[in-house]
Amino acid sequence: MTELRWRLADDDGGQGALFEQEVERHIGRGEFRGMEFLHVQARRVINEVPRASRMPFRWTINAYRGCSHACVFCFARPTHEYLGMNGGEDFDRKIVVKINAVERVRAELAPGRWAGDHIAMGTNTDPYQRCEGKYRLTQGILGELLAATNPFSILTKSTLILRDLDLLAEAARRTDVRANFSIGTLDEEVWRMTEPGTPHPRRRVEAVAKLNAAGVPCGVLMAPVLPGLSDRPEQLEAVVKACVEAGAVSITPLLLHLRAGVREHYLGWLAGARPDLMDQYAELYPRAYAPAGTQDELAKTVQALVAHHGGRSVGPRQARSVPPKPPAPPAVSQLQLGV
């Protein structure tokens, strides 16, 4: 049985200490189809992003740590190492569950304690990963945000979000709500290789259409675009075209980013799956980010495709905000009607 051990090391950017502040104790476990769930009692669930961070949001909720979607490029993998587990198979199969998340959110949103700021969900791991079907923490949290009429955004790769369509639509009628789907590619082979636990990307496109049709503004992060795997112009166009047709309120491309911890996992996988690409990656990624010119080129290509297909592209900082409503048609007076 896995035990949680906070790694309170100086070289983890304070993340182990942060998680120790978030979590009171490890209170039990569950198992299901080869997965292990580590139940923890959270001290607090709405967490402030460290001020030094350049993230375009200040408050986050992440009820789960680890993610069964098991994407080979997942940027959150190193967070498992702060808990004494590895960022490989442990990240995919040992999920930390903040079992009291709904009660904590209710307490933290109480009048007088909370100023009503926007809260971002899905910033670390997917709030609709498979175990949400069992624990329903995201659903409970949405209920609390709705009851408090608190603005929020949510990012996912899972069509399980449609289970909560009525809740989301009601929240969107009362406050600012924004959804985003992450759809990096529609290429079947690349999807199977790189995001083995996620719903088919075509099902995600359909979910984008359903959310927008229900009044929940939903955009798409084309993230991450993988050099040599999903960045051919025809691959990019297939995603853009499908998402614009699905009514995505915005489209934002993001090129792969390989920070320490992710880099080792991804390049280890690539060496086995596509050794022919290793030289290209060595050239593109001497650092965590690909050269600015390569990122700009992708952004421009996608912007041109989005414009061509009649959609709206925005940068990463705008991707979680609610798009402006189209201007109301001018009021038609009786005089204008000439009657």
Residues that bind ligand SF4 (CB under 6 A): 67, 69-71, 74, 76, 125-126, 129, 157
Task: Indicate the residue among 157 and 178 with the shorter CB distance to ligand SF4.
Answer: 157
Give min distance, CB of 263 to ligand SF4, in A.
Answer: 15
Q: Alpha helix (H) ranges present in 25-150?
A: 78-81, 89-93, 101-108, 132-135, 137-147
Considering beta carbons, is residue 184 or 311 the nearer one to ligand SF4?
Answer: 184
The residues near 17 (Cβ < 8 Å, ≥ 6 apart) are: 6, 8
- Rounded to a whole number of angstroms, the minimum distance from the CB of residue 309 to ligand SF4 is 26
Asked if residue 299 lies in contact with residue 253, where contact means CB atoms within 8 angstroms, the answer is yes
Q: Is residue 139 within 8 Å of 161, Cβ to Cβ?
A: no
CB-CB contact of 213 with 165 (8 Å) = no
Whole-number minimum distance, CB 113 to ligand SF4, in Å?
29
In terms of CB distance, is 60 or 175 closer to ligand SF4? 60
Residue with Cβ nearer ligand SF4 (158 or 321): 158
Give CA–CA dist 113/124, Å, rounded: 24
The residue among 148 and 266 lying less far from ligand SF4, judged by its C-beta, is: 266
In angstroms, what is the minimal distance from the CB of 71 to ligand SF4? 3
CB of 286 to ligand SF4, least distance (A): 23
To 5 degrees, how large is the angle CA 324–CA 326–CA 331?
A: 130
Q: How far is the CB of 106 from ligand SF4 (least distance, A)?
A: 25
Among the residues of 148-261, which ranges form H helices? 165-174, 188-194, 201-213, 233-245
Of 80 and 104, CB closest to ligand SF4: 80
Q: How far is the CB of 130 from ligand SF4 (least distance, A)?
A: 10
CA distance to 143, 179, 180, 216, per residue, from 322 (Å): 20, 9, 11, 10
Continuous segment of H or E residues that includes residue 23: strand 23-32
Nearest Cα residue to 206 out of 162, 164, 163: 162
Cβ–Cβ contacts within 10 Å for residue 149, how many?
12
Comparing CB distances to ligand SF4, the nearer of 147 and 288 is 288
